């Protein structure tokens, strides 16, 4: 924050020094025209700055939402693979492990997903996975087939835990600090700049100015609306977990 304030102060100071120096040296001419070189240069640079910040405010959340969506499918893929791998475990352990996986998927879908819009995961999900993993580790194994199945289930559950940690990171994803504030600030400056430069639009000339202001407002709102990967217009839906629960129903018992 301090560096930002110092940068702003340095920029203002540079303008003041340059204006004073050129006045003392007698270089240049007074520029009071709203369409003059000073206003034109400042206006184009301000528009470029707004477009740069606005692009960041759009691209970063879009990329984050796409990555979060792919990660949810990776998580459910590990979940389904663990469900398949549990089949050779001795009875009734196989059914219990599969039921634990189903309960985890239902918990994420029904209880945890609504919390993710607020920027955090539920505390129970990790405990469920750790408990199920410990149960699988302690299973009494008497055959090589069951041992291989247990090792595979544990491996898939390791992938599942890693994917869950990635989802926790995705939930906490946010724009770089100050980006939305700078987007709003530059948007406001773009709208009021003609007035600051000395122009006084009248009559039909107010129509394009008003249209620009409306479109800029809509654009800033959209940028804010998609700023979180699990809420707003680009919110990642729990489709992957819905599909996993449907796939569980299609997998025969004992397979």
Residue-wise pLDDT for 196-253, tens only, equals 777 777 777 778 888 888 888 898 898 888 888 898 888 899 999 999 999 998 887 7
Select the more confidently predicted residue: 7 or 177: 177
Query: Does the pLDDT of residue 139 top 60, yes or no?
Result: yes
**Distance of CA 206 to CAs 187, 195, 209, Å?**
17, 11, 5
Residue of higher predicted confidence among 76 and 172: 76
CB count, 10 Å around CB of 90?
15
Average pLDDT, the chain: 82
Contacts for 207-214 with beta carbons within 8 Å, 24 or more apart? Answer: none
Cβ contacts of 93 within 8 Å, gap of 6 or more: 139
Task: Give the percent of the chain with pLDDT over 70.
Answer: 83
Stretch 151-167: mean pLDDT: 93
For residues 110 and 42, the model is more confident at 110
Task: For 9-18, write each residue's pLDDT tens digit.
Answer: 554 454 455 4
Q: Where exactly are the structural domains of the chain?
A: 37-250
Exposure letters 116-134 (e unless 16+ CB within 10 A, then b): beeeebbeebeebbeebbe
**Per the confidence metrics, is the pTM higher than 0.85?**
no
pLDDT at 41 over 80: no
Q: How confident is the model at residue 189 (pLDDT cuts 50, 70, 90)?
A: confident
How many Å from the N-terminal Cα to the C-terminal Cα in the chain? 59
């Amino acid at each position: 924050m301090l560096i930002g304030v110092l940068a702003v102060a340095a920029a203002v100071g540079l303008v003041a020094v340059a204006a004073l120096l050129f006045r003392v040296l007698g270089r240049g001419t007074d520029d009071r025209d709203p369409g003059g070189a000073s206003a034109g240069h400042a206006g184009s640079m301000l528009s470029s700055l707004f477009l740069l910040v606005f692009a960041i405010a759009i691209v970063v959340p879009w990329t984050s939402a796409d990555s979060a969506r792919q990660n949810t499918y990776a998580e459910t893929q590990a979940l389904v693979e663990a469900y398949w791998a549990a089949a050779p475990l001795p009875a009734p352990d196989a059914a219990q492990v599969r039921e634990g996986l189903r309960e985890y998927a239902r918990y994420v879908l029904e209880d945890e997903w609504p919390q993710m819009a607020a920027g955090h995961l539920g505390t129970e999900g990790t405990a469920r996975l750790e408990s199920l993993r410990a149960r699988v580790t302690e299973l009494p194994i008497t055959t090589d087939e069951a041992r291989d199945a247990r090792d595979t289930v544990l491996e898939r559950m390791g992938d599942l835990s890693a994917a869950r940690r990635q989802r926790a990171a995705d939930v906490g994803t946010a724009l770089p600090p100050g980006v939305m504030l700078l987007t709003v600030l530059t948007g406001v400056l773009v709208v009021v700049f003609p007035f600051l430069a000395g122009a006084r639009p009248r009559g039909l000339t107010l129509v394009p100015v008003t249209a620009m202001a409306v479109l800029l407002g809509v654009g800033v709102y959209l940028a804010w609306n998609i700023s979180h990967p699990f809420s707003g217009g680009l919110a990642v839906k729990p489709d992957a977990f819905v599909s996993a629960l449907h796939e569980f129903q299609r997998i025969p018992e004992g397979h």
